[in-house]
């Protein structure tokens, strides 16, 4: 077992809450059954939605590209199984807004046949990092810890030096155990992915941050690191405290470095990737496989047999629930994600997406309806637990008053929406809802401002173009007039000279005739 590193610092605030992990972490990951239909939203990531490259009626194979990334910050989408595209339309998707989005629906054929895949890159240490990033982009890999940011974009450091690659294995939110089981069962893939990512960003060391409530995962990773003799890959065990898995919080724990407000870890020479993302990177590079499935935790008191299933992206949630024992009579709520940062789903017909790490079927006593909010009593409890060291009550007051400039003065966008403040609020104010509302309004205002600025620039450009064309037209007319006047002036002098010459010739002839007459008379 390699040396276990302890945290070098702590972050402000946080919570010690029941983790509810034992219910789903006890049994190995099972392969979910192939569903009859797969519904695949075109946007399962931060950025622009993918653009379909197939049409209704097309036969597709497992791993085949269905939709191509439409922008730099976007992600490819592949077929999780073979079948036929039967629909491309706006359909309900799992999202806090409840709004529908464009999806590709595949009717599977049961054969689960692979299509043509790219060649594995087994000797990745000799590969160009740009080629490896392109492989990640092709594979449609996004952050699987919840942020769903395209990994090919995140690993493009723009030439900035990276001293430390942090692999986030904390999995700090209660109920979720998919990463825990992954590390126990596939430590080789986790380490392979970490080494590939280290080569891509040219990091000096790798730190794997994991909470101390995962002893089996710690042992499995430690044994893999020791077996390979990896001295620059270090396992760092941190105390169980929510939200130690927050990017900035984990970096603080492992390195003591504070990521600046509104800043990114890249600015301090650190890159952070989720442990499941690392395993998916290994699958894409070493086996040439795109991201078409993920491990999903199914748990909660309202579920018959909690556990972890490896599910195809696009699988109806209800089918996974049935494979995890089905609903019990106590089931009353379905939540995607964890209890702190997840959101309730209206029904179980919605599909699993790349960012779906957990489905909780709440039982009796779990997730009770929120109590009515009362006035803020200014107790300051929210300030004590905020891991971002913000002033939640100030943010709440200004967000409620729609004074969005003030919310930004109080660093609204440093809020990671962990929910610690709402958890401890004795007034039961849904604080995170207000912060999300304020962020959404600011983003909408910014989009409108950009659109307005773009329209203004287009108008100014058009006016300048019309003025330029008018000036050019007038200049041409002026030149034409001047040339005509010169020509006319030159033409007038010539006629005058001709007339004078003609008059002289007439006069000369007349003088000659007169002379002849005089001579004849004499």
Query: What is the pTM for the complete model shown?
Result: 0.85
Q: Which two tokens stand for residue 149?
A: 């940011």
From residue 89, how far is each of 21, 36, 351, 361 by CA, in Å?
Answer: 38, 18, 14, 29
CATH number at residue 256: 3.40.50.11540
Share of the chain above pLDDT 90, in %: 82
Residue 163 lies in a domain: yes
Task: Please list the residues that pair with 359 across neighbouring strands.
Answer: 298, 336
Band of the pLDDT at 496, cuts 50, 70, 90? low
Over the stretch 128-156, which tens digit does the pLDDT of each residue have? 999 999 999 999 999 998 789 999 999 99
Q: Which of 344, 372, 407 is the last residue of a domain?
A: 344
- Tens digit of each residue's pLDDT (9 = 90 or more) over 150-163: 999 999 998 899 99
- Count Cα atoms within 13 angstroms, Cβ side, for 479: 6
Q: CA-to-CA distance for 293 and 439, rounded, in angstroms? A: 31
pLDDT at residue 431 is higher than 80: yes
**Is residue 476 predicted with pLDDT exceeding 80?**
yes
- 245-271 tens-digit pLDDT: 999 999 999 999 999 988 899 999 999
DSSP 8-class letter at 126: G
Mean pLDDT across 338-360: 95
Mean pLDDT of 471-475: 91
CA dihedral 302, 307, 309, 314 (to 10 degrees): 20
205 domain residue, yes or no: yes
Residue 75 lies in a domain: no
Is 462 in the same domain as 408?
A: yes
pLDDT attached to residue 512: 81
- Residue 516: pLDDT above 80? no
332, 395: one domain? no
Paired strand residues for 108: 83
Closest CA to 296 of 182, 419, 183, 142: 182
Residue 283 · residue 289 · CB < 8 Å: yes
- CB within 8 Å of 159: residues ≥ 6 apart: none
Are residue 200 and residue 324 in the same domain, yes or no? yes
The pLDDT, as a whole number, for residue 495 is 64
Whether residue 69 is contained in a domain is answered as no
Q: 316 and 440 in one domain?
A: no
Q: Looking at the domain assignment, is residue 213 inside a domain?
A: yes
Q: pLDDT tens-digit profile of 366-425? A: 988 888 999 999 999 999 999 999 999 999 999 999 999 999 999 999 999 999 999 999
With a cut of 60, say whether residue 492 has pLDDT above it: no
Q: What is the 3-state secondary structure (H, E, C) of 247-305?
A: HHHHHHHHHCCCCCCCCCHHHHCEEEEEHHHHHHHHHHHHHCCCCCEEEEEEECCCECC
**Per the domain annotation, does 521 fall within a domain?**
no
pLDDT (0 to 100) of residue 490: 65
Of the candidates 344, 365, 397, which is a domain's last residue?
Answer: 344
Count of the separate structural domains present in the chain: 2
Are 218 and 326 in a shared domain? yes
For the beta carbon of residue 199, count every other beta carbon within 10 angstroms. 17
Residues 394 and 333 in one domain: no
Q: Report whether pLDDT(485) > 80.
A: no
What pLDDT shows up at residue 522? 63
Both 403 and 467 in a single domain? yes
Q: Is residue 46 part of a domain?
A: no
Token pair belonging to 410 = 């109080």
Are both 335 and 192 inside the same structural domain? Answer: yes
Which among 463, 421, 467, 29 is positioned nearest to 217, based on CA atoms?
29
User: Range of 235's domain?
Assistant: 4-31+122-344
Q: Are residues 194 and 320 in the same domain?
A: yes
- Tell whether 320 and 413 lie within a shared domain: no
**165 and 284 share one domain:** yes
- For 417, left (φ over 0), alpha (ψ -120 to 50), or beta? left
In a domain, 409, yes or no: yes
């Amino acid at each position: 077992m390699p040396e276990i590193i302890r945290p070098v610092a702590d972050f402000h605030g946080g919570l010690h809450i029941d983790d509810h992990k034992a219910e789903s972490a006890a049994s190995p990951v099972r392969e979910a059954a192939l569903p009859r239909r797969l519904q695949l939203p075109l946007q399962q990531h931060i950025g622009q939605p993918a653009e379909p490259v197939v049409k209704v009626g097309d036969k597709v194979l497992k791993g085949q590209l269905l939709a191509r990334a439409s922008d730099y910050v976007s992600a490819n989408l592949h077929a999780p199984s073979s079948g036929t595209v039967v629909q491309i339309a706006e359909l309900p998707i799992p999202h806090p807004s409840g709004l529908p989005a464009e999806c590709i629906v595949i009717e599977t054929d049961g054969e689960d046949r692979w299509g043509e895949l790219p060649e594995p890159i087994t000797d990745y240490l000799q590969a160009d990092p740009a080629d490896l990033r392109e492989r990640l982009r092709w594979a449609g890999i996004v952050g699987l810890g919840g942020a769903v940011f395209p990994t090919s974009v995140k690993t493009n450091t723009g030439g900035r030096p990276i001293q430390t690659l942090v692999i986030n294995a904390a999995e700090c939110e209660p109920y979720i155990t998919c990463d825990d089981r992954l590390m126990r069962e596939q430590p080789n893939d986790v380490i392979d992915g970490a080494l590939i990512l280290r080569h891509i960003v040219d990091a000096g060391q790798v730190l794997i941050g994991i909470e101390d409530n995962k002893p089996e995962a710690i042992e499995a990773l430690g044994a893999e690191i020791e077996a390979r003799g990896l001295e620059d890959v270090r396992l760092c065990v941190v105390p169980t405290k929510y939200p130690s898995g927050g990017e900035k919080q984990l970096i603080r724990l492992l390195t003591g470095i504070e990521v600046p407000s509104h800043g990114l870890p890249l600015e301090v020479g650190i890159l952070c990737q989720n442990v499941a993302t690392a395993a998916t990177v290994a699958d894409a590079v070493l086996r040439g496989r795109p991201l078409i499935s993920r491990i999903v935790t199914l748990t909660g008191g309202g579920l018959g047999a909690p556990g972890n299933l490896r599910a195809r992206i696009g699988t109806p949630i209800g089918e996974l629930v049935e494979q995890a024992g089905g609903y019990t009579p106590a089931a009353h709520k379905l939540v995607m994600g964890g209890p702190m940062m997840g959101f309730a789903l209206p029904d179980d017909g919605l599909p699993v997406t790349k960012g779906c790490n957990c489905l909780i079927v709440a039982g009796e006593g779990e997730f009770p309806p929120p109590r009515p909010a009362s006035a803020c009593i200014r107790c300051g409890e929210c300030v004590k637990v905020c891991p971002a060291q913000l002033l939640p009550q100030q943010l709440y007051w200004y967000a409620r008053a729609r004074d969005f400039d003030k919310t930004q003065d109080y660093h609204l966008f440093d809020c990671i929406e962990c929910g610690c403040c709402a958890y401890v609020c004795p007034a039961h104010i849904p604080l995170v809802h207000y912060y999300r509302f304020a962020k959404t309004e600011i983003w909408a205002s910014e989009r409108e401002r950009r659109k307005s600025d773009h329209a203004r620039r287009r108008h100014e450009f058009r006016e300048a173009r019309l003025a330029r064309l008018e000036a050019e037209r007038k200049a041409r007319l002026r030149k034409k007039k001047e040339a005509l006047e010169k020509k006319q002036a030159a033409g007038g002098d010539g006629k005058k000279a001709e007339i004078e010459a003609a008059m002289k010739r007439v006069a000369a002839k007349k003088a000659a005739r007169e002379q002849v007459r005089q001579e004849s008379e004499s």
